[in-house]
Structure 1
Amino acid sequence: MASISRPAWGRRAWLAGMLTTAAAIALPSGASAQTWPARPIQLLIPYPPGGSADLLARPVAAKLQERLGQPVVLDYRPGAGGTIASQALARAKPDGYTLIMVLAAHAINASLYPKLPYDTRKDFAPVSLVANLPMILAGSPSLQATNVKELIAEAKAAPGKLTFGSAGNGNTGHLAGELFDSVAGIKMTHVPYKGSAQVVTAMLSGEVQLTFDSISTTLPHVKSGKLRALAVTGSQRAAVAPEVPTLAEAGVPGISITGWYAVLAPAGTPQPVIDRLSTEIATVLRQPDLKANLATNGYEPVGSTPAALRTHIDAEINRWSKVVKDSGAQIQ
């Protein structure tokens, strides 16, 4: 049987139809990127109100909604070391209307939890590293030690007796305490809470003796005399508390931990939307009034590119994986 060839005009019509279909398929992403945002944006917060993420997210969200012309609504999803909020984001539609502000715990959880309901590296689109924040080792009124040297001596005299509270299992403060135990050769008992606000309450009542927490939530109580600052955990002293020594200066070298906060979107979010978000975050972080607001609470604004944030998160996952393995920390 002779083959039947498609007429030239038929081939052209078929090709034109295919191109039209492809353009129609590609249109929604491009169109959404051009018109975004057309409605309110939801910003998930992995911890309860009153914590360091909340203190940062509120003023940043207020500035962003001025720039974007749409409300940026904070949605608190605390629990499971931040994994509940992260799971919600991973399952959200990748349209730029659901975001999350994660903490360093987001990278820690990748190795601390035996199984997560998402892939930390693949299920999220980095937007911007918003800010860094020094952490502080603080003592409660029930702690006898007045400095790090005395603290170590007290802990060695009664292993497991001293308690330190954190904002939750897998939180940066949790791992900071485990690392401090390992480096100092002591053993303290970890007590997890649901957010920094609960930790502060427990500290003030003497329920726990110590905490490794963000300087934004702890410093006000240090300045009022209700808590005692023993050291900051970074490599240099904090600008808002220059009188507080680093752990290295206090006699415990080898520990350098700084909290960080970043905005992520679901994987698959259109790149133009990601780029617009990143640019707007960097823009608001340069505004003098917001910079002054954040500096009061110890935040150090960054405003990175998406690519720089991806590199940062990958490095943090690798770093904390080693800390978790070496310290033996695990979720019970």
Structure 2
Amino acid sequence: MIHTLNTSARRAFVLLALAAATGAAFAQKAPAAAANWPTKPVRILVGFPAGSTPDLVARTISEPLSRALGQPVIVDNKPGAGGNIAADMVAKATDNHTIGVLINGNMTIAKLLNPATPFDPQKDLAPISLIGTAPLLLTAPADAPGKDAQEFFLAARNAGTKWSYGTPGIGTVGHIGMELLKSKTNIDPVHVPYPGNPQVINAMLGGQVHLSLLPPGLAGPQIRAGKLKAIGVTSSGRSALVPEYPSLDEQGVRGFQLEIWTAAAAPKSLPRPVVDKLSRLIAEIVRTPEVRQKLFQQGWQVAGTSPEGLANRVRQETALLGGVIAMRGIKAQ
């Protein structure tokens, strides 16, 4: 019996020693593997056409990232399904040299909107870094009633379903954000989806819709030209992107905060040391004065977070937007 116990103890000791040695060897190899990565060109998948906002972001960071990595960084556009085609390709990539520049919906609510989505953002994507954020701007026709948000919302409540709002599609941040705004202000305009925000703007200019949540970069020129009217931005306070416009929160819609964002993500299979390396480099790149200015001109406030920072943002926004999706019964078509 004593011999058996001693043998068991020796066996356990050997196993523990082997595990410790293996762990130490892995710890030594992991940084080396990241240091030697990449060994071939890196591909950035973008789920929107050339010239789109995510495409411009990817191309802005691709050249400095290529210099930092010592390998070509190729931007590959795979548009469709609101960016989910590219996101699915990122999730399923196995070459350890494919990442994506994705938007809110791809990394948060894709599966909640459509259970048939072939990837699960929470399970299949590894956050790298939040690149940039921007509020939306509640916009109305130039002749919309009210001198401020409160008077505008009073008119909207009185109009009920006679008013309508436009979005670039079912399940977009503009759509879910407007449904959240409806719940906070007791307005009830009818949703009218369009192929994209340019068509929404044209519809407002033509009097077909009465309000919309739009990127400031698109709405700003029309507002400054006197063709549309700004009601307020969806940031918690005034945004550096459009400091001339007050926030909806400071005009009485307390707690209403909503942003669009773009981020770098990888397949879950990408080794964590490589994810950390990419995160550090991308954060450093977007914070350089040259890249920061380019992204600002494209309508983004630079973030440059750690993987954990982006993961926290994904969790928070999935809970917020997912709650609206459940409350309003929103489903992608």
| Alignment TM-score, normalising by the size of structure 1 | 0.80
Residues 1:167 and 2:168 are matched in the alignment: yes
Distance 1:60 1:229 in 2: 31
Shift of 1:142: 7.1
Distance 1:39 1:142 in 2: 56
The answer to whether 1:65 aligns with 2:66 is: yes
Whichever residue aligns with residue 184 of structure 1, its letter is T
Count of aligned pairs between the two proteins: 310
Distance 1:44 1:157 in 2: 46
Q: How far apart are the structure 1 equivalents of 2:87 and 2:154? A: 40
Q: Summarize the Cα distance change of 1:273–1:48 in structure 2 as closer, same or farther, 3 Å threshold.
A: same
Q: Distance in 1 between matches of 2:285 and 2:249?
A: 35
Secondary structure at 1:73 match in 2: strand
Comparing 181-190 and 230-239, the one that deviates more: 181-190
SS at 1:160 equivalent: helix
Secondary structure of 1:75's counterpart equals: strand
CA pair 152-252 structure 1, distance change in 2 beyond 3 A: same
Residue 133 of structure 2 corresponds to which residue in structure 1? 132
In structure 2, the CA distance between the partners of 1:328 and 1:71, relative to structure 1 (3 Å rule), is same
| Alpha-carbon distance between aligned partners in 2 of 1:146 and 1:211, rounded to the nearest angstrom | 17
1:221 match: 222
Moved more, 34-43 or 304-313: 34-43
Alpha carbons 2:30, 2:273 under 8 Å: kept: no
Instruction: Kindly report the root-mean-square deviation, in angstroms, between the aligned alpha carbons of the 2 structures.
Output: 3.2
What's the offset of the Cα at 1:266? 0.8
Shift of 1:235: 0.7
Structure 1 residue aligned with 2:100: 100
CA displacement at 1:150 relative to structure 2: 4.2
- CA offsets 1:124-165 (integer angstroms, 9 cap, x no match): 111111122121111245755664334334433443333322
Once the two structures are overlaid, the 10-residue window that deviates more, 297-306 or 207-216, is 207-216
- Residue type at the aligned position of 2:287: R
Alignment of 1:295-314 (within 5 A): 295-314=296-315
**Equivalent residue number for residue 80 of structure 2:** 79
1:212 aligned counterpart, secondary structure: strand
Distance 1:271 1:71 in 2: 21
CA contact (8 A) 2:279 2:306 kept: yes
Output the CA distance in 2 between the equivalents of 1:107 and 1:276. 23
CA displacement 1:92-146 (0-9 Å, x = unmatched) = 2251x22212222231334232342112211011111112212111124575566
Q: Distance in 1 between matches of 2:192 and 2:113?
A: 16
SS of aligned partner of 1:121: helix
Alignment check: 8 A CA contact 2:108 2:122 kept = no
Write out per-residue CA displacement over residues 149-187 of structure 1, whole angstroms, 9 at most, x where no aligned residue: 343344334433333222332221111111111111122
Change (3 A) 1:244 1:304: same
Deviates further, 309-318 or 39-48: 39-48
Q: Secondary structure at the match of 1:249?
A: helix
Q: 1:52 to 1:279 in 2, by over 3 A?
A: same
Tell me how far apart the structure 1 counterparts of residues 87 and 194 of structure 2 sit (CA, whole Å).
19
Name the stretch that deviates more: 171-180 or 254-263.
254-263
Is the CA contact 2:114–2:331 (under 8 Å) kept in the aligned structure 1?
A: yes
The residue number in structure 1 matching 2:294 is 293
TM-fit CA distance, 1:84? 2.2
What is the correspondence of 1:1-332 to structure 2 with a 5 Å cutoff?
Answer: 33-95=34-96, 97-105=97-105, 106-141=107-142, 143=144, 147-332=148-333
Are the equivalent residues in 2 in contact too, given 1:239–1:298 (CA < 8 A)?
Answer: no
Shift of the 60–165 alpha-carbon distance from structure 1 to 2, 3 Å rule, reads farther
C-alpha deviation, 1:265, in angstroms? 0.5
SS in 2 for 1:67: helix
Q: Which residue identity does 1:128 align to in structure 2? A: S
* 8 A contact 2:53–2:298 mirrored in 1: no
> 1:206 Cα deviation (Å)?
4.5
Letter in 1 for 2:99: L
Distance 1:50 1:227 in 2: 24
CA contact (8 A) 1:168 1:193 kept: yes
Q: Describe the shift of the 1:162–1:49 C-alpha distance in structure 2 as closer, same or farther (beyond 3 A).
A: farther
- In the alignment, structure 1 segments of 5+ residues that lack a partner are 1-21
SS at match of 1:309: helix
Counterpart AA for 2:185:
A
Give the TM-score normalised by the residue count of structure 2. Answer: 0.80
Note the C-alpha offset of 1:249: 2.8
CA change 1:127–1:243 in 2 (3 A) is same
Change (3 A) 1:312 1:248: closer
Cα shift at 1:195: 4.1
- Amino acid of the structure 2 residue aligned with 1:268: S
